[in-house]
Amino acid sequence: MRAGTREKQRGVKINEEKDDPFVCFGYRRSTPWTWLSYALCVLTVGFFILVFYWKPDWFIRMTCYSCDLQEADSIIIKDIYRRNHVCSIRKLEINSESECSAKTLRMLFRHDVVVDGIWKYFRYQEMLYVWHPTNKAFYKLRALDGATSCSEFYDKLQNGLSRQEAAERRYVYGLNKIVIQVRPILVLLVQEVLNPFYVFQIFSVCVWMVDEYYIYSGCIILMSFISIALSLYTTRKQSTTLRDMVHSDTLVEVLRKSGESIEVMEEEIVPGDVIVLPSQGCLMTCDAVLLTGNCIVNESMLTGESVPVTKTPLPRTSGVDGESAPGYSADKHKRHTLFCGTQVIQTRYYGGGMVKAVVVQTGFSTAKGGLVRSILFPKPMDFSMLKDAIMFIGLLASFAFIGFIYTIVVFVNFGFDAGYIAKRCLDIITIAVPPVLPAALTIGMVYAQLRLKAKGIFCISPQRINTCGTLNVVCFDKTGTLTEDGLDLMGVQLAAGGSFGKMKTSVTKDAPVGHHIVAMATCHSLTIINGEISGDPIDLKMFQASGWLEEPTSEETTHFDMMVPTIVRSPPTAAKRKSEGVEEVGILKQFPFSSELQRMSVITKSLRDEPMQLYIKGSPELVASLSKMDTVPSDFQEQLNSYTKDGFRVLALATKQLDSKLSWHKLQQLNRDQVERDLTFVGLLIMQNKMKPETKPVIEELMNANIRTVMVTGDNILTAINIARKCGMVGAEEDIVRIEADYCADAKHSALHCTKVTSEQDEISSDYRSFDMDMKNCETSLQIEPFTRRKVHFAIDGKSLEIVRKHHQCVLPQLAVQGTIFARMTPDQKSELVQTLQDLDYRVGMCGDGANDCGALKAAHAGIALSEAEASVASPFTSKIQNISCVPIVIKEGRAALVTSFGMFKFIALYSMIQFVSVMICYTVHSALSNFMFMYSDIFVCTTVILFMGRNKAYHSIAMKKPTTKLFVTPIILSLTLQVAIQTACQAAIFVILKTQSWFVPMVPSKTDKNIQCWETTSVFLVSMFQYTIMAIVYTPGKPYRKPIYRNYLYMVDLFVIIVCSFVMLFYPPTKIEELFEFEHIPSFRFKGIILAVVFSNFILSAFVELFLVSNRSLLKLVSCKNCRRAKRAKYEELMMISTSLGDPD
């Protein structure tokens, strides 16, 4: 783009895999426009300094001209949430005297990044983005994740870095620190005071002080001081807590290229360093990939799941383990990666060697750093209420402008001086636009958070509580969430001679010892920690059923210095039997369980002189596909279906004898894809996974509330279907259609097969049609209704879903709308499904145990992790209630908080308009409300109502109708409009009736006095006192989202006291009160009775509007002209309205 232009240019999109994409716009400083901006700030007495402080991107646009990124010195970043961020581009001179040479930069980034001796970059949300001169774009600074092949770790990095190389990398990547800035109190104070809310309050207090409202101003200053102090305390405490949580100060043993081993502070390690892990374990302070030895790791900080995980060395060849990644990737190779913040419990090493790992990420680039960044820079809630609130404040500001003009006209005509008129005009602005509104909207969330905490549900993101009230679909993990975490072994069914034998309920007495017993005793990730066997519950049940014993070969703190790290032994009773079975087996190598691969395996060796043996355990379908066909029983699928349809968890076992010439050292170089093939199928492990007793009632409660429920599990699809029927996700009179997708890469052709699963025995029938999909023409859509007109639920596994996602995007939305059972889903697929549902305008909740569903829990609008921890970075909500009964609780509290926020908003809006009308009427006679009148209504009435209104507890059941999420909807607009009209009419009526009284004498205004003490002001104020209470009662929401108002005892006491005080001031005001409030004594009890009658009429009319008019659907349709215009529906609603049938199977 031509330099000097100020026209709009196209931005450059930066998309870095898991990170949200954003767009960069380049800007270069313009000296004339900069000086003009400074002059503007001076001429407006600093107002534009505030504006530029609130909107930094406006300052850039004002002082700079747009240009290409390569010429820019500042950039504006627009993220996917349409927020603007300003970053400065830094330029470092690289020469012979620099700490890092251009050659090193070229080696690290794999291309030239230095142009004319200058290296350009910018920092955004704690991440560094480097300029790529060739592509003319910025790219996120990466260390060894992504571009480094697996073999490079062994060929180039396993010996470590030299001191010089480490220093150069430290210059590029920075220190290995996650720095949380705890800002000084003074800085926090200035930032808090410069908040637009407090700036407006400062403006209001200045106006009131000039108008001699000292007492009221003092009260507001005191309240603001308390509010600011609490805010500073909370902010400071959160920052301190987060800093203490991430702070670490340990020594790390690092290997240098020279062969020496040195200890350095953790902040000094850099990507490429080789660290030595101590045998007694340690806390990881960086992300590192394991090269030698095994590690037992507790990853509860990342996942919320405290079951130990085994980490094994990285395979030498890229793309192994069934993965297609061109190089090392922390996501694909997480079973070989030690993540920052996780606790290494034990290390296992062989032959006296060290357990070594190469550092791949440091600082904020680590897994822990990413979690901290998600806390520092949270995803904004797409909640229309906040946007509507800002628009509504703008509407109130328009009323203030009208009042501003009216005030000028009235007081100028009477001849008041300009100073007095200015004070009255500014006073109107502070009345019409309530400064307390933003704070009032958070009260409901605060109370809801406290109630959730009392029930064992903790929330680290209070803004999400209101969002919980809008959920219309909830996804559930199965194992550990819908069903019990533990499994009971029902039996083993062995394969022999091409068929299955009878199921054995016990294997401890089998003789001789067969492969199935050895597989059960060795194919697991269990470890002995503090003298107890610990690990995955399924592995533990399987191992216990084998009856064998696990023993390390040496002491726990110093093992594993022998060739065989772990030995399992048959029990003494078995050893006494004169059998030829295996009695002692050593586990030499382990390929850990992978959710993506759906299997794990171990390589073992009998302590007798026999060849090594491979044992594998995993998904029956996958294990069968890796086995030799002649060893898989012909009735394999039928037998598997017979178990899974009854809800059993089924695992398959297989084995393979390895080459007798295979040595231990060659074994360590093997990749799993080299050995996990041509297996001998051994049999099936049948385990019962009981459904939690709370599951069915909760699912029924959600379904009755018209909240859709979805199962997202890694288990077998027929098992998932069975659980879905048992828990009530699929009704007895509803159909399940299984969707299977096939894809032929050579022919570029795929087909979708729709197969009905009957409701009684979950048997397969062919009542549905299969669709052949043309890759070039994606017009075929799934037909979602059977011709029996019964409701249909789709069931699909992860493999088929991936084919649909890649090749049939047009079908995916219908699958997401009708799908209830998603089985064999990987963690990434779970997260993608949540995002697909969100794209269809669903409000998505996710409930899981935090193990394999962290991504989905984070992606959902409301993620609930079932964990014993009080706070988990895996999800916004953490429940100590270890079942899904926490889900309705969160939804109920979310709805209660949401309707409280709306009720509070309507009350504050009406309170402001009532006071605005009162002041306008007083201005008509050149009078004004007194200081104590304002103080009574603002503090004694408004503040106490705000504090106590939100204490109403959530209703005991979930209503079918969801609360509204928008302010600008017909019911709310109609309610506010009618209520403002009623309050205005009642005040005007009293004002008119007052003038007809025989004892009434009009006030004669004085230009030197405020003219407060008069019958006009007193009468209008007495009416407004009752009106505040009426609005508080009318706008306090109850059933069906909150308990009735009379159950909020403190609120009832507060309203009772306010009403009693109002009656006292109306009928028998003490002389001292009349003097304080500057009342003009009303001599007529008849007129006081008229005031009470008008107030009672006001209450009847206001209640009638809320109870009958606003809730009348016919009236709302008429007012909104709904019948004359097309209603805008959510995307999922439009898909659900598609009325087609699955067609005739013929």
Interatomic CA distance for residues 129 and 121, integer angstroms: 5
Please determine, for residue 779, whether its predicted confidence score (pLDDT) is greater than 50: no
Question: Who has greater pLDDT, 677 or 1008?
Answer: 677
Taking residues 695-710, what's their average pLDDT?
93
pLDDT the model gives residue 384: 63
Please determine, for residue 759, whether its predicted confidence score (pLDDT) is greater than 60: no
CA 405 to each of CA 135, 398, 606, 684, 1058: distance values in angstroms, whole numbers, following the listed order: 58, 11, 96, 84, 34
Helix, strand, or coil (residue 1066): helix
Per mean pLDDT, which range of 492-496, 768-772, 1018-1022 is the poorest?
768-772
Contact between 1055 and 1048 (Cβ < 8 Å):
no
501-517 confidence digits (pLDDT tens): 888 887 766 656 788 88
**Position 325 confidence tier, pLDDT thresholds 50, 70, 90:** very low
Contact between 351 and 564 (Cβ < 8 Å):
no
Listed ranges 841-845, 875-879, 1003-1007; the one with the highest mean pLDDT: 841-845
Is-catalytic flag, 715? Answer: no
Please determine, for residue 852, whether its predicted confidence score (pLDDT) is greater than 80: no
pLDDT the model gives residue 768: 47
pLDDT the model gives residue 3: 39
In the chain, the amino acid numbered 973 is I
940-973 confidence digits (pLDDT tens): 898 889 889 888 889 999 998 888 888 778 888 8
Taking residues 449-456, what's their average pLDDT?
89
Q: Please give the helix or strand (H or E) that residue 25 lies within, else none.
A: strand 22-29
**Position 748 confidence tier, pLDDT thresholds 50, 70, 90:** low
**Position 1099 confidence tier, pLDDT thresholds 50, 70, 90:** very high
Please determine, for residue 65, whether its predicted confidence score (pLDDT) is greater than 80: yes
Taking residues 1094-1120, what's their average pLDDT?
86
902-919 confidence digits (pLDDT tens): 888 889 889 989 999 998
Please determine, for residue 891, whether its predicted confidence score (pLDDT) is greater than 90: yes
pLDDT the model gives residue 820: 93
pLDDT the model gives residue 435: 67
**Position 87 confidence tier, pLDDT thresholds 50, 70, 90:** very high
Q: What is the DSSP string of 365-419?
A: GSHHHHHHHHHHSPPPP--HHHHHHHHHHHHHHHHHHHHHHHHHHHHHHHT--HH
pLDDT the model gives residue 672: 82
Taking residues 1072-1089, what's their average pLDDT?
90
Q: Which of 211, 427, 477, 797 is catalytic?
A: 477
263-301 confidence digits (pLDDT tens): 899 899 999 899 999 877 888 899 999 988 888 887 766
CA dihedral of residues 1121, 1123, 1129, 1135 (deg, nearest 10): -170
Cis peptide before 315 (omega within 30 of 0): no
pLDDT the model gives residue 562: 42
**Position 635 confidence tier, pLDDT thresholds 50, 70, 90:** confident
Angle (CA) 868 870 874, round 5°: 85
Question: Who has greater pLDDT, 326 or 822?
Answer: 822
pTM of the model: 0.75
345-373 confidence digits (pLDDT tens): 888 776 567 889 999 999 888 888 887 88
pLDDT the model gives residue 1122: 58
**Position 551 confidence tier, pLDDT thresholds 50, 70, 90:** low
Contact between 900 and 1037 (Cβ < 8 Å):
yes
pLDDT the model gives residue 1098: 94
For the chain, give the mean pLDDT.
81
pLDDT the model gives residue 573: 59
SS3 content of the chain, % helix, strand, coil (to 5): 45, 20, 35
88-100 confidence digits (pLDDT tens): 999 888 887 777 8
Please determine, for residue 549, whether its predicted confidence score (pLDDT) is greater than 90: no
Q: At what angle do helices 886-924 and 418-432 cross, to 10 degrees?
A: 160
